[in-house]
A and B are shown apart, each in its own frame.
Chain A
Amino acid sequence: MMRIIVAGKDQTSEIGSELTHRAARHQGALSPWSAADSALSLKASRDMTDYLNRFGKLMRLRYALCTDPFPIPGKPGLAANLIKKLKTLLWKLLRYQHDRMSCQQNAINELVISAHDFQNSAMQQRLNALEQRIQELEREKHR
């Protein structure tokens, strides 16, 4: 149950309802990902192996740089307004170069993730072969 203590006094009824009322203005979702694909899904990992598997999957979803237009925060006043407009214009002008570079960076990111996956897969195969060999040797020993 909600509880708010300010300077040692319980002010849940005074402040709590105001916070709840104001909080109604926060609409929509913060994360573009579903719960299963959110970084917070890592909290459900059973152990380190599970964590690594989940982490790898989440990385695969996130290798690309986001080049979508974004809201540039502004301040009141004529000068601040002009600066905001200049920033918006600069962003539009720079997009041509920026998109080229982000494309290159995305390719590098994806290759790095793939390299990690290949290495992981090779290690896993080697581990499986070793485990199988140990089992065979143990069987032979007990024969």
Chain B
Amino acid sequence: MISTAIHQLVAGFALGDAISHEALAIRDICRDAGLASEIYAPKDRIASDAANTCHPLSDYQPQTSDTVIFHYSITSPATTAFQSSPGRKIVIYHNITPPEFFVPFDADVARQLTEARQELKSILTLADAVWADSAFNAAELNDLGFPNAKVFPLLFRADGLDIPADQAVLAKFAVPMKNILFVGRIAPNKCIEELITAFAWFHKNIEPQSRLLIVGSDRSAPTYYSMLKMYAAELGMDTVFFERFASPSGLSAYYQVADIFATTSRHEGYCLPLVEAMYKGIPVVSRQTGGTPEAMGDAGVLFEDLRAEELAELFGLLCFDAPFKQTVIESQQKRMKTLLNRNVKAEFLALLAQGQ
């Protein structure tokens, strides 16, 4: 049966969040193709500024002729809605953060992540098609006994970044300093404390006129966020700025003032901010982990097993060694050409047509 509607279920929805961003992109592709398409999430997990974009799960009324796409990364009431949908079912697997990262900080989230891994198999068994947003994630599914997962790389849309920068943010950081930027959820798997340590060495011994800007929501682990605040204070780092969740214009401003984008995350399914930073022309440094090599392609700087002092020196090279920085920037420009030439609509519709 040909679907007349493609709806999506997500565990939570916030503008600026990578999965929400992808759901929006898919919704727009579906609508362009003449299909009805809405996004649903549990009401208490829809950000207040997204109430007009995402509908409460209680409004979801699935029909046999519908296709439902379930973005999976954690347990939520959306799982039950997916299971009871009578139409064609597709799962997009975004990876599940290993629960051990959360154990010291939030037992409830750790439990949800453990349960998510336990229920994953049953969800995949129910699905008519399984997609993963990176080959790394597809490999995990293969190990679970689902070898047919199709890779549909996480969608990047430039229009969200091509907006005027927030003037308040630009004014706040108007004094010229070297700015190292991190964008992402403040969550224990991101290992932001390692970035703070590297920055502290950089600030102390290489460039005292420098800042570390940490941009991202602290809602998923406030206890981890408190640890980071305490740690930055412990190192006497009064130029570490915790900027919390940024609006699209705010994000545009942070990218505008950044000299380097850096992440020391130890678990990533893909990591969209790496792509965003490359698009904005900022040299990117990332730990090689999970899906980050796929997001980076042959661009930027990937590292493994660098001590904090060595990472600080790498920041120094990117700031002060012009030919090195140029090599990195040029590689990123090439990577962006490839990503921007991606025909997402054709790719999506082709995947959708498979097995229909």
Contacts and interface: CB of A to CB of B under 8 A. Distances in A.
Interface of A: 1-9, 15-16, 18-20, 22-23, 25-26, 30-33, 38-40, 42-48, 50-51, 55, 58, 62, 66, 70-71, 73, 75
Given A5-B288, A8-B331, A51 B312 contact: no
B69 to A, nearest CB: 32
B159 interface: no
Contacts of A1: 304-305
B316 A22 contact: yes
Nearest to B104: A45
Name the 9 nearest CB pairs between A and B, nearest first.
Answer: A8-B298, A7-B331, A73-B208, A39-B230, A23-B309, A45-B104, A39-B231, A3-B304, A26-B309
Given A7-B328, A31-B235, A2 B306 contact: yes
Interface residues of B, number: 48
A19 B314 contact: yes
A23 B200 contact: no
Given A26-B309, A31-B234, 16 more contacts: A2-B305, A3-B302, A6-B301, A6-B331, A15-B314, A22-B316, A23-B307, A23-B310, A25-B205, A33-B234, A42-B230, A47-B104, A48-B107, A51-B105, A62-B233, A62-B234
Contacts of A30: 197, 200-201, 204, 235
A110 B201 CA distance: 31
Interface string B77-121: 000000000000000000000000001111100000000000000
Contacts of A38: 231, 234
Most-contacted residue by chain A among B200, B227, B302, B307 (CB, 10 A): B227
B236 to A, nearest CB: 8
A48 to B, nearest CB: 6
B308 to A, nearest CB: 8
Given A1-B304, A6-B327, A26-B205, A39 B234 contact: yes
A7 to B, nearest CB: 3
A73 B209 contact: yes
A10 to B, nearest CB: 10
B313 interface: yes
Contacts of B227: 39-40, 42-43
B265 to A, nearest CB: 15
A75 B304 CA distance: 34
Interface string B203-245: 0110011000000000000010011101101111000000000
A19 B298 CA distance: 21
Contacts of A40: 193, 227, 231
B312 A23 contact: yes
B56 interface: no
A19 B313 contact: yes
B146 interface: no
A18 to B, nearest CB: 8
A15 B317 contact: yes
B348 interface: no
Contact of B209 (A42, A62, A75): A75
A81 to B, nearest CB: 15
